[in-house]
Structure 1
Amino acid sequence: MGFGKFNFLFICALFLLCFISSYYSQFTPADSYSINCGSPTNTTIGNRVFVSDNLASSYLSTPQNVLVDTSANSIPVSEYSQLYSTARIFSQTSSYSFKISQPGRVWIRLYFYPFSASNYDLKSAKFSVSTRDHALLSEFSSGDRLVKEYSVNVTSGDLEIMFTPSGNSFAFLNGLEVVSVPDMLIGDVAASVDHPASFRGLLGQALETVARVNVGGPTVTSRNDSLSRTWVPDSGFLKNPGLVSNVSNVNSVRYPPGGATPDDAPRSVYGTTVRMASETNPKSNFNVTWEFRVDQGFRYLIRLHFCDIVSSAPNQLYFNVYIDDSVVLPDFDLSTIFGGFLATAYFSDFVTPSMNIDRIRISVGPSGLPKVYPNAILNGVEIMKMNNSDGSLSGKDIVVSSKTSKSKVGVIVGVVVGAVVVLLLIFVLFFVYKRRTEQKRLNQSKIWIPLSTNGLSLTMGSKFSNGTTITSGSNYSYRCPFPAIQEATNNFDESGVIGIGGFGKVYKGVLSDGTKVAVKRGNPQSQQGLAEFQTEIEMLSQFRHKHLVSLIGYCDEKNEMILIYEYMEKGTLKSHLYGSNYPSMSWKERVEICIGAARGLHYLHTGYSKAVIHRDVKSANILLDENLMAKVADFGLSKAGPEIDQTHVSTAVKGSFGYLDPEYFRRQQLTEKSDVYSFGVVLFEVLCARPVIDPSLPREMVNLAEWAMKWQKKGQLDHIIDGSLNGKIQPDSLRKFGETAEKCLSDFGVDRPSMGDVLWNLEYVLQLQEAVLQNDTNGNSTNVIGELSPQIHGFNNSGDENLDTNSNTNVGQFEMSSGDDVSGVSMSKVFSQLGKSEGR
């Protein structure tokens, strides 16, 4: 079959899949209740039947039956006019209860229209609404019609919604819906607006819809949304309407397989957009901004919907997306996400920090990339308030049901007291047993149990885990008793702290045999936890390499998560570059450290059956022994690389500010080239000896990578190097080093070198520095390339690199088992590429 014909069939198949996903992804809720409150009859709205709560009284628990209605002429015209004509009054705490057949998220929609009726003015009502776990409304009073929509996670078999009047007031309700939410609509992870690590735990959050906006389009009613949502126009939120143009092309919208679906947002949202009004001015430079009022003291989940219906070809539209002052999607290009297809539905989720102001600004604006026409779009916005630490969405205490009678209270108190006594007795017996067991174990010799033998696995048990299994294929790592760690660290003496990281404090320790160790003790309040602990053990128990920090042991007793490493006498590379009293390192020492770190990373990427991506390469995670030999450390964020038939791993963004690969941040697609980008930042950090992010500097200097790249592209990198290196770097060595770092920082991963190529070039940098250029008066290193003897280990005749460290005879290793002996390796073969001018 010809390539053109194959391409045609592929495109047809993709269109067919898009068609199927568009029209046959209709969600059928497992549970769906629609109640017409206070009405004697049912009401039909669209395809939903709101059942009279008189006819469905089994849902309702109230001591009184007070119904009110109003004239249809007094109700503003809307799709819910019939629903708003009646209401139920609650003069005492009352509730609706619904059986939930399938655990998971449900929508709770409360409909309010405060009309005046005989004996009741609904505008004077003041009340609270809650579930068993969440306060939805507190001291609520409505002056106009509105719908309050919530999404809560129901784990039990029923949902109770309680209405509690405030003081001598009353509560009312016109309509109520409880409907299952699609499992895939809201995931557990979203990007953090203020932190490089993603926010996890959305599945357990209660949410309140603050805004649902069809940007650039008209109102989308519940009749035209597969999940019965209403989308309002953006005109009430847009700050400068004169800066935008509206675009509509609903029929062009595609729903890609595995991407957004009609349940995420309908075609009428993705098919309308606002774009910058820059059609006639290629020098336009402004942002389009929308502003939303919010309650202070809460986090917010923000979902932004995009669909490029304005471009005529791929890679025409690059733009920046901002939430408040943070760039959440820099140089964003929708066409790259789905292989160049345009008009493809896409959304991205973000979680804000706890808000200390009463508004959220969302902006889109032109990218700073060269030769890119200034334009930006946005199709839809959803903003949802997240519950606070008390489980409340109102900011006040959760309303507790008062249905329990005094007699039941007495029974409950008796049961609780009895249970407490029993638990105390059990605790005392357990403590005595534990004390005896501990004493017996301490009287025995301190034996360290191997983490794994012959590929078997052990089970971790602690408050962080209910039997988490950690599997290993080696016997290098050991489980260490907690008392032995206490002894080694002098009971975690604060004077022995040698570092503090995201996981917790690191202590210097000395084992009973005199071995120095670094003890990393997990902090229960840390954002890192069991997953990072387990990953570190799994990774370091599989790998052994002279440029990777070795794991000696671990402990998960007594609610602890502790990792024990070989002690690195000289600390971190970062501390030798700035911020400490260490003497300045020579250029040779710095390049050798970079070479060692590159070897460690290259081994991770190629030395095992599947690549391992470090994900947190930075100078603070490159440690130095007493001889300044570099070792890569901290594998808590590491991730197994893609399968052979895949190009990337789709995963939440994690890493450190200043080092994070922007392509990985934009697309959440992780590859080995993300480590290469971070390592490129480290190279400039080594050269300039300054922090990668320094807010105290002028704006153009704050970000080291951006600042250094500007000077590198000018060919004037020598203007910004560490002052202690002035006049001490051979010009060709500096030039090659700068070129290597520049390639690592390429915008797109496909343009970056592999770590093997980076290593090759750094070896070349070192040899250019050390070369004695006797025959080269002009300093042109390529003229004497044959005289150099670089320490590049183990390239075989085919040029392939083999990193099987279990083999003693393979000359294709970077790290050879026989003391790095390179005798017999042909230097002419090694330099065949370097002799062509610029190496790799």
Structure 2
Amino acid sequence: MRDCREICLFICVLSILPLVCFSANFVPTDNYLIDCGSPTNTPIDSRNFTADSFYKNFLSTQQDIVASTSLKSITSTSDSPLYSTARIFTAPSKYTFPINKKGRHWIRLYFFPFAYEKYNLSAAKFAVSTQNYNLLSDFSVQKNPVMKEYSLNVTSDTLVITFSPSDNSIAFVNAIEVVSVPDDLIIDDANTLNPAGSYSGLFAQALETVFRVNMGGPTISSGSDTLQRTWVPDEKFLIQPNLARNFTNIGAVKYVDGGPTENTAPPSVYGTLTQMNSADDPRSNFNVTWQFDVEPQFQYLVRLHFCDIISKSLNELYFNVYINSWFVAKDLDLSTINNNILAAPFFKDMITAPSASTKIFISIGPSTVNSNYPNAILNGLEIMKMNNSVSSLSSSTAVPLSSTSGSGSKKVGLIVGVSVGAFLAVVIVGVFFFLLCRKRKRLEKEGHSKTWVPLSINDGTSHTMGSKYSNATTGSAASNFGYRFPFVTVQEATNNFDESWVIGIGGFGKVYKGELNDGTKVAVKRGNPRSQQGLAEFRTEIEMLSQFRHRHLVSLIGYCDERNEMILIYEYMEKGTLKSHLYGSGFPSLSWKERLEICIGAARGLHYLHTGYAKAVIHRDVKSANILLDENLMAKVADFGLSKTGPEIDQTHVSTAVKGSFGYLDPEYFRRQQLTEKSDVYSFGVVLFEVLCARPVIDPTLPREMVNLAEWSMKLQKRGQLEQIIDPTLAGKIRPDSLRKFGETAEKCLADFGVDRPSMGDVLWNLEYALQLQEAVVQGDPEENSTNMIGELSPQVNNFNHEVSVSAAQFEATSLDDLSGVSMSRVFSQLVKSEGR
């Protein structure tokens, strides 16, 4: 009998052991908590910070300077005792911590700038680094207490933290934590955005915690978190708080084996959430969006925490999740993910692409899968900055976007590169391999550097050309468009790449305004030859622009490939991008006539790309940001890094990996990966609606049906209600017939199937027609009914499905130098007058 009881007791112990272990707090192997400058230990919550005099053997500094202040001078904070003392450094000083268990560690640094004798800590300016990473550069704290939290993978037996004063200043620190992190807290793999894919290599990344947010709940102090993290409420980040409501059910949270643990996030995070404030209305259709300020040019690890504590049954809640309007999850059903267990925690890690934006938007919204219960939830969020290619987390050492291909992002580039497009590129390189080798040997004999040489696009022969900047031998690609600029010349032109001269940032890199010695203004795009994706785009840009000359294509003046650089020099476009004149930049509103003329100019450029050469060239990234304006607002198409030659005569399409910009991308191309000129036509149709409405093509802050401009505009166009969404500054200023023709043109461009879309030539004709209708108001009677004029026009002009008997290319000059020589307005005037037919 006793044996049976012992066996039963043993079984019970075994059954509850996983639960006990599951809820047990993590005990860090390395746990250094230092109250710097303090003569005594300082208890904080359940932990004890040791006076740094105990760690004197860890510290290497020239002067032993400690400072203190009264608690009254410190703003209210739960950790305020830590900020009452500090250690001051007048020269580079180091803390060296023995590491007993290699792996990821927290580094938490506490700063509060109080005044002490002759040292004013608010004037301190300094850097903080470890053996492998730069954590802070030119750092200063002006007023309030600051805690910086980092997560580093320590691979050596010691961790050295160095404080280095800047500009004859001082450095200081109030407290330091170096604490082991659970091995499974940061896993090695994640998903990527823009482009969507997988990421591997998080183990090696240094991370800085930027935000840690408890959706729908209160502040969670470090004492209530197993890893001593602090979680803040989400209210201040909500763009429209009235669209959101909170819900709490902490007792419902069920941590399951193989899923997140309390170390991932505590029950007080998974047991609270923010949801749609839909009042169970089945017609509710909007997104809840949070906005977070971040530093540009860095990648970010975004961890989203979910736990369905509101559903009463399985498969009840479906919703969508977005980051910066990119899908993170579509039709997400948490019960399916968690093996049909409700209220089980789940998290998703996403890696953002480096961006010039200073904002990250997180949105949740309803799915169409279950429209009876439109709702969406988010329980918690963490945003962590990732180190860049120079192993830095400091904004003052940010590198151009194209240079961030180091470390983890290289892996993303490799993943994206293994595609059909890359395979074709390799084949092309192979064809020219012998010619390139011969050219490079000749260049080396002539004393030139062994840097990248542009691919010849003709026969691979070289030409020697004189230049006012240098005497250089260049490939035929270069000889077609301009000169090879020495790097020092580019430095002088851009004031040594002065950051204040930056006029744009794109996927390839930064664009600087510059001025050559002769006074010529230029735009200088600087890339990184070590970036495989950047190198491909660099070559494509040179190949394309060295073939074409057109007044509505941005001209390439020269290039620089010295010192392993990839630099392109373009004509300077004084008025910037079309996008900047439509919204977001505060420029004066463009008139309707100006907008039509800009669209016509861009259409001419694209029409030339499609028809002006032996084989069509497909731009693949048509958008308002790639339409530039000169001082006279003349439009020129730019950025040919993604361009691709079109299909052969006996082919209907080119099969290639999908590339382009979200919101402008041809859905047929996206579905079938079959590229044609009609993909550019679709993107241009989106631009037309963007020009008319003066709003972003994707705006997650709007109600769901209005988020996508193309979809929303098409709905209203088909209802005959397009005038409801035009730019308010144009209200009453557009001739109804001009608006009708413009709307019909955009609608045709956005046809679901490419075969139903017009050619760019037809688009050009119809835009010219819309301009004629608009100008008729100015030239004639304002009350004149334009239907009389329409009746006089050739029916061919107004018919998309009928091929115009004489193409625009035949009216224009046939020279490859410029196919825009003949004004479309003059052509139309001949069509209107009977004697011209």
More helix by share: 2
What's the TM-score once normalised by structure 1's chain length? 0.50
What's the TM-score once normalised by structure 2's chain length? 0.50
